[in-house]
Amino acid sequence: MNQTSVTTAPAFLRDPPRFLFFTGKGGVGKTSIACATAVRLADEGASVLLVSTDPASNVGQVFGVTVGAHVTPIAAVPGLSALDIDPAEAARVYRERIVGPVRGLLPALEVAAIEEQLSGACTTEIASFNEFTDLLTDAAWAAAYDHIIFDTAPTGHTIRLLQLPGSWTDFLTEGTGDASCLGPLSGLDKQRGIYADAVAALADPARTRLVLVGRPAASALAEAARTHDELAGIGLGRQFLVVNGILPAAAVDGDPLAAAIHEREERALAQLPGSLAPLTLDRVALKNSNMVGVSALRGLFGDTPDAATPVGEQTAPLAAAPLGALIDEIAADGHGLIMLMGKGGVGKTTLAAAIAVALAERGLPVHLTTTDPAAHLNETLAGDVLPTLTVSRIDPAVEIARYTEHVLRTRGAALDEAGRAMLREDLRSPCTEEIAVFQAFSRATREARDSFVVMDTAPTGHTLLLIDATGSYDREVKRQLAPGLTLTTPMMKLQDPAQTKVIVVTLAETTPVLEAVGLQDELQRAGIMPWAWIVNNSIAAAHPDALLLRERARGELAEITRVRAVHAARLAIVPLQRQAPVGIRALRQLG
């Protein structure tokens, strides 16, 4: 049973250690919680440094100042300063430090392959960690600040890599690494001692506190549980849980939509995943606007909603953008691969099921499949069946085992036990999962010649380019093709909108939209242009009556307008539903 604290005195802020790390998926409110924590500690007389490593950081916007790579005092809060570590810039500098010495010495194609290997999320993680190791280990920082607060923590995968024994440089130089995440570690042996000290600081609860941030939704809490398990697996088990944005009973205001949301959230909180249940839980109420300004931050940990103020008519009414219009256009092709992509918690599984059901109800043959370990398609369909709809799941664990066995049998055959141990760790990286799953995707694409294949969760643009840059199936087949013959590879199918329609899914909030834009940029680097966007769970599109929700709806309009005008070739907006869309009837209504 959870110990639930009173939110005016958050449990995670009792006897706080020097370092506090806030971690969680995009859009759950990490930055707001971190900023409010920094203000609270500074108001109590502590000297505080707030550090963001979030690629979608808006710390400067929250405080109304420009925050960059240098420590910036926050004038409105005596004792508080802020620092932004730009992950993209850190990764660029980091990449150049490794690639620079070989540029001009190696063929251009080999240099390009190295650069692509260093272009993914793993490099960004390692580079960002490299930037803040000084903050964890340098005595000068400890002398300057009572508390250092980090908005976004390193993943368990990053820490495991930093704990690897042996020589990373030799491992890569000998060519025993694969298309993986060990590339970012090349040449870092000199910093092993500093990294060891930083990892030790992270694992010491007397010095560091890890705070998981989530939303009161089953999918978001499942994501938080996976983060908890990953960190606990490498010794960081002392964690706290904050569930942000809970709609209070007092804000229901007689609105059926608000009442249904409140009931659904309380049910999700009552059914926490098993690994989260023992954690001390802080509940933070939903506010009627974004957390901008010191006054708003000081009120974030209050246990009642903001005083509701009358809301005027929206000056720019939300234009209709029904999901059904996208489905009509998809159905007109008669067959094809439909891939829904986006960060965790945005509703890809539900939307994939809704699209598949709508196509199947037109009598079209449809195969609905997913690689998401948290996706329960059968539960989403509630056991309902349609004659032309088949459902399956690509099991990442099975695909990883198959790929790992192949690499160990080939690349690892000549290695000693230490080398094979490093190769096994290399193969535990996120890149390995994406590459292994991509192979399963490639098999499934063949079905799309004669039917629809709807896929929930797809490989990132980095993974696609990494495969291509390291002698992938796509490049090898093209090289061996006889003169005068043509062949369509899986990569070419993904790049052809007539065969594959990639749909980006997001929420109408700042961080999820920024992350979706980053995903689109990655795909475009791989020659894949997203066909459409879906803004899911829109409060504005649901036309609520409760004043608090009407204020939240007003805040969505700017994000939706930006997506429509700048990012999306096609757009659908799916309203927030009173009840979870489970079963064919409910999924039909989404479309």
The set of catalytic residues is 27, 29-32, 54, 511
Cβ atoms of residues 184 and 127 within 8 Å = yes
Separation of alpha carbons 505 and 36, rounded Å? 29
DSSP for 150-202 reads EES---HHHHHHHT--S-HHHHHHTT---SSSSGGGTT-GGGHHHHHHHHHHH
130: three-class secondary structure by DSSP: helix
Q: Which of 94, 132, 130, 134 is nearest to 114 (CA)?
A: 94
Cβ atoms of residues 387 and 471 within 8 Å = no
Token pair for 139: 């005595």
Helix (H) and strand (E) counts in the chain: 25, 15
Strand partners, 44: none
Count Cβ atoms below 10 Å from residue 357 Cβ, excluding itself.
26
Token pair for 15: 């006897």
H-state helical runs in 10-86? 30-43, 59-63
Amino acid identity of 164?
L
Token pair for 358: 């709508």
DSSP state, residue 527: T
Separation of alpha carbons 237 and 275, rounded Å? 10
Strand partners, 242: 213, 282
What is the residue whose two structure tokens read 């196509």?
359
Strand partners, 506: 535
Amino acid identity of 509?
E
What is the residue whose two structure tokens read 């994406």?
434
DSSP state, residue 392: E
Separation of alpha carbons 302 and 294, rounded Å? 14
Instruction: Say what the alpha-carbon torsion angle 552, 557, 562, 563 is, to the nearest 10 degrees.
Output: 80
Amino acid identity of 342?
G
